Amino acid sequence: MHFLRNLIILFLICIAIKINLCVPTIPSSLKTLPIDGHFDFKQVHHAAKDFGNRYSFLPSAVLHPKSASDIATTVKHIWEMGPGSHLTVAARGHGHSLQGQAQAHRGVVINMESLQGPKMKVHTGNFPHVDVSGSELWINILHETLKHGLAPKSWTDYLHLTVGGTLSNAGISGQAFRHGPQISNVRQLEVVTGKGEVVNCSEKQNSDLFYSVLGGLGQFGIITRARISLEPAPKMVKWIRVLYTDFATFAKDQEMLISGESTFDYTEGFVIINRTGLLNNWRSSFNSNDSAQASHFKSDGRTLFCLELAKYFNPEEMAIVNQEIMTSLSQLNHIPSTLFQSQVSYIEFLDRVHISEIKLRSKGLWEVPHPWLNLLIPRSNIHIFAQLVFGNILTNTSNGPILIYPVNKSKWDNRTSVVLPEEDVFYLVAFLSSAAPSSTGSDGLEHILSQNKRILELCEIDGLGVKQYLPHYSTNGEWRSHFGPQWEAFVHRKSTYDPLAILAPGQRIFQKGFG
């Protein structure tokens, strides 16, 4: 009896030692680091939350840096502790990740929004650009650059995201067909690597690091500054929507619009199936009080496809722009009675999702689980995908919008880390679902997740050559298959810039101690 008890105690001690070996403990040395900002070891819960509302990993400390040097000092310290410390570091931009990507279980989260770098600086002239902090929100960049009559060329649909957060992925919206994603519109970066070095990089200087970081899922360095290309900003936007019942016609028109010299500055599309409710509507540009307009968007059991276009202009160009739009629209094959137009300011257009955010927040519908699924689908397989999914796996779009639009691969730089399908044109298909908390019905998390799983399985079985955007996997094998032929290069870059795998543990690609 005595022997058995001792054996159990010994066993428990062994487990405790083993757990202790693998679980990082925050060293007191962090407290004595010479930094201008500070560490918080108590108020850390905020850093264990994100927009996805599904994953929560509590860090042991949150760094509120004042400078890039604070970040470098911290990462260098952890790098010098070696693999035995098991400590990891996650940069947290605006926390709009979906699956814990900006979290660090028992590690250090860097609250990028505390960073106080040099002020945002707009450079006018032949090659206009703006120098910003990696923690800057795109909405602030818009406001600042507009003071100079300029603006970035490529956007995301929602602007309350940080530069570091979107450049770690790609940054895609309706302008990408012409300008490429946001990662195609960056000239220079300042980066803190996984060894705690502060490195400036661009196409000409430390170019491998530059391209590694762009679309690099935060794996190679923390972006502390970025230089972003600008163009003259328009004052106004003609915002247009037309509807289709036939997917083939819709896709043909979309592809025609993104090839060659399009009149339009922005092209997106979305799917409407048995649409009801506010959630489905949250990207809507049109006033739902207008009953005549709203009735056209009721699909009554059918699947409709909505093409969304925008044309930028200045008031003095109004007449000529109207003429150009008429000519371009006459080449489309939408349902003739469904042409909806509105005219808004450039800011109103770009910041459109924020209006919906305010509405959803007021109804308690913003901070709910978001089981989003974003796919990049080769053009040659988009028809079969649409046939299998819309109206079949997916019989309504009441849980949130479904975006679908093509982009040109030629506008993406193949030196970056981003993983794309193997065709010249591919579609972004984004299932932007919100789940009703604690519902077990078709608006509940379990149902939406199983729907996502079926869609992914179908892509796999039919060999559609689909890649996930904002990818998330739990096993090494899945990551390898996501990267495909790019895996070796990705691993090589990781071993060069973050050999101890300290950075971005929330992506679950590498374990600390790698290399």
| Residue 10 Cβ vs ligand FAD, minimum distance, rounded to whole Å | 41
Distance (Å, rounded) from C-alpha 107 to C-alpha 466? 33
Distance (Å, rounded) from C-alpha 393 to C-alpha 433? 14
| Residue 194 Cβ vs ligand FAD, minimum distance, rounded to whole Å | 11
For residue 81, count CB atoms less than 10 angstroms from its CB and return exposed for 0-12, middle for 13-18, buried for 19 or more: middle
Q: At 398, list the tokens.
A: 């009441």
State residue 360 phi and psi, 5-degree precision.
-65, -40
The torsion region of residue 487 among left (phi > 0), alpha (psi -120 to 50) and beta comes to alpha
| Residue 265 Cβ vs ligand FAD, minimum distance, rounded to whole Å | 16
| Residue 45 Cβ vs ligand FAD, minimum distance, rounded to whole Å | 16
Kindly report the three-state secondary structure assignment for every residue of 470-493.
Answer: CCCCCCHHHHHHHHHHHHHHHHHH
Contacts of 73 (CB under 8 A, 6+ apart): 33, 34, 35, 196
Distance (Å, rounded) from C-alpha 113 to C-alpha 5? 52
The catalytic residue among 50, 144, 157, 265 is 157
Nearer to ligand FAD, 391 or 471 (CB): 471
Nearer to ligand FAD, 171 or 234 (CB): 171
Distance (Å, rounded) from C-alpha 336 to C-alpha 313? 25
| Residue 89 Cβ vs ligand FAD, minimum distance, rounded to whole Å | 9
Nearer to ligand FAD, 409 or 454 (CB): 409
Task: Give kind and range of the element (H or E) at residue 430.
Answer: strand 425-431
Nearer to ligand FAD, 157 or 253 (CB): 157
Distance (Å, rounded) from C-alpha 199 to C-alpha 184? 20
Distance (Å, rounded) from C-alpha 377 to C-alpha 375? 6
The catalytic residue among 64, 77, 94, 96 is 96
The catalytic residue among 131, 255, 265, 268 is 268
Please say if 157 is a catalytic residue.
yes
The torsion region of residue 26 among left (phi > 0), alpha (psi -120 to 50) and beta comes to beta
Contacts of 367 (CB under 8 A, 6+ apart): 53, 361
| Residue 93 Cβ vs ligand FAD, minimum distance, rounded to whole Å | 3
| Residue 483 Cβ vs ligand FAD, minimum distance, rounded to whole Å | 16
Kindly list the distances between the CA atom of residue 131 and the CA atoms of 118, 123, 197, 260, 428, in Å, as whole numbers in the listed order.
9, 8, 20, 31, 29
Distance (Å, rounded) from C-alpha 288 to C-alpha 383? 31
DSSP secondary structure code for residue 230 in this structure: E
| Residue 429 Cβ vs ligand FAD, minimum distance, rounded to whole Å | 13
State residue 179 phi and psi, 5-degree precision.
-105, -5
Nearer to ligand FAD, 173 or 280 (CB): 173
| Residue 3 Cβ vs ligand FAD, minimum distance, rounded to whole Å | 50
Kindly report the three-state secondary structure assignment for every residue of 146-157.
Answer: HCCCEEECCCCC
Nearer to ligand FAD, 162 or 299 (CB): 162
Please say if 268 is a catalytic residue.
yes
- Of 173, 79, 192, 75, the closest CA to residue 133 belongs to 192
Nearer to ligand FAD, 128 or 194 (CB): 194
Contacts of 10 (CB under 8 A, 6+ apart): none
- Of 273, 279, 269, the closest CA to residue 306 belongs to 269
| Residue 223 Cβ vs ligand FAD, minimum distance, rounded to whole Å | 4
Nearer to ligand FAD, 113 or 324 (CB): 113
The residue at minimum Cβ distance from ligand FAD is 164
Which residues in this chain contact ligand FAD in the complex, by CB under 6 A?
Answer: 50-51, 90-97, 101-102, 112, 134, 156-158, 161-162, 164-166, 168-173, 217-218, 222-223, 353, 470, 504, 506-507
Q: At 56, list the tokens.
A: 């929560």
Distance (Å, rounded) from C-alpha 430 to C-alpha 427? 10
- For every residue of 289-334, DSSP letters joined together read T-HHHHHHT--TTSEEEEEEEEEEE-GGGHHHHHHHHHHHHHT--S
Distance (Å, rounded) from C-alpha 174 to C-alpha 155? 8
Nearer to ligand FAD, 325 or 466 (CB): 466
Please say if 367 is a catalytic residue.
no
Q: At 26, list the tokens.
A: 């925050």
Nearer to ligand FAD, 102 or 420 (CB): 102
Catalytic residues: 96, 157, 268
